[in-house]
Structure 1
Amino acid sequence: TESEMRPEGHWRVRMPVMVEDIMKLLCSISEQRKMKAAVKHSGKGALVTGAVAFVGGLVGGPPGLAVGGAVGGLLGAWMTSGQFKPIPQILMELPPCEKEKLFDEVTNILRHVEWTDAVQLTALVMANEVLQQQLLAMLVGYVTKELQAEVRYDD
C-alpha cells in the first residue's frame, strides 16, 4: 500500500494533504455526474405514518385506520423527500475519521496511480473511464451504506 512505500515520518506529514487531494477528486467526479444524496429520515416518516393512522383509527374505526395509514404514508413520504444535497457538499462536511475511511477505500483503488497534487490526480482519473467507474461505485456504496442516504443523478 501507499503507507508501506513511504518512510513513517514522511507519511504522517503528507497524510492530511493526500486526504484533501482524494476529497477534491471525489468532489470533481460526483460534481461532473451531478450526484446528490438525501439521508433517509425513515424514523420521522414512520412516526408520522403511525401517528396519522392511529388518529384515523380513533376517529373513524377500521375505515379511518386505513385512510389514516394511507394519508400518513403520503405525508411521511412527502416529509422525507426532496432533501437532497450535492455529494461534494456532503463530502466536504464529513468528519476527519470518515474522510480517512474514504481515503483508504480510494487509495486501494488507486494503488498503482502516482500523483503529486489534486489537479494531477483528477486529470489522471478523468482520463480513465475504468477508474472513474470504480470510484463512482465505491462512492455510491459508501454514501448508501455508511451514510444511509439515497443517491440521485440530476441530468
Structure 2
Amino acid sequence: MIPYFSERKHFLEKAIETAKSLDSQIKTLGIEQPEIKALRLAMEAEAASLGATIEERKATTKRYTSAYVKRAMDDIPREIEALNKQIMGGIKVVSEKREALSKANIPSGEITRLLPDFDLEPLQGRIAELRRELSQWHYFNRTGLPEDLPETANA
C-alpha cells in the first residue's frame, strides 16, 4: 500500500529534478519549451497528491492500529475459539444424553425425537460473521483506506 506510493513519489521527485534541470538548461539557451514545463508541473501535482495520499493513509492506519490489533489479533480469534468450544460442548452433551438413553433401552427413533441434533446454525453464522470482520480488518491493514474499515471499527 504505502510502499508503492512512496516509491512512485520518489520516482516523480527525481523526474521533477531532471525536468527542472532541463528547463533551466533550455532557458539558458534562450529557447522556450512549454511542453517540458507542463510535464514538470503535472509531475509536481502528482507528487503532491501522492504525498497527501501517503500522509492520509498513514494517519488513518495509525488511528486504527490499536483497534486492528485488539480486534484482529485478540478479540475475534478468542470469540471464534469460544464459539467452536460451545459447538463441541453442545455436540458432546447431546451425544452423552443419547448414549444414556440408549443404555436405558429407549429405541433410537424415540431418542432422536426426544433429543434432536445440537443446533449449530446460530453459532456457525456468528463464526462466519467474525471471519468476515477479520478479513476486513486485514484488508484495511493492507490498504489504509478509511472506506475499507470494517463496519465495527467505530462501534
TM-score range, shorter chain: 0.3 to 0.5
Q: Which structure dedicates a bigger proportion of its chain to helix?
A: 2
Q: Which structure dedicates a bigger proportion of its chain to strand?
A: 1
- Please report the TM-score for the alignment, with normalisation by the length of structure 1: 0.33
- Please report the TM-score for the alignment, with normalisation by the length of structure 2: 0.33
Bigger RCO of structures 1 and 2 (CA < 8 A, at least 6 apart) = 1
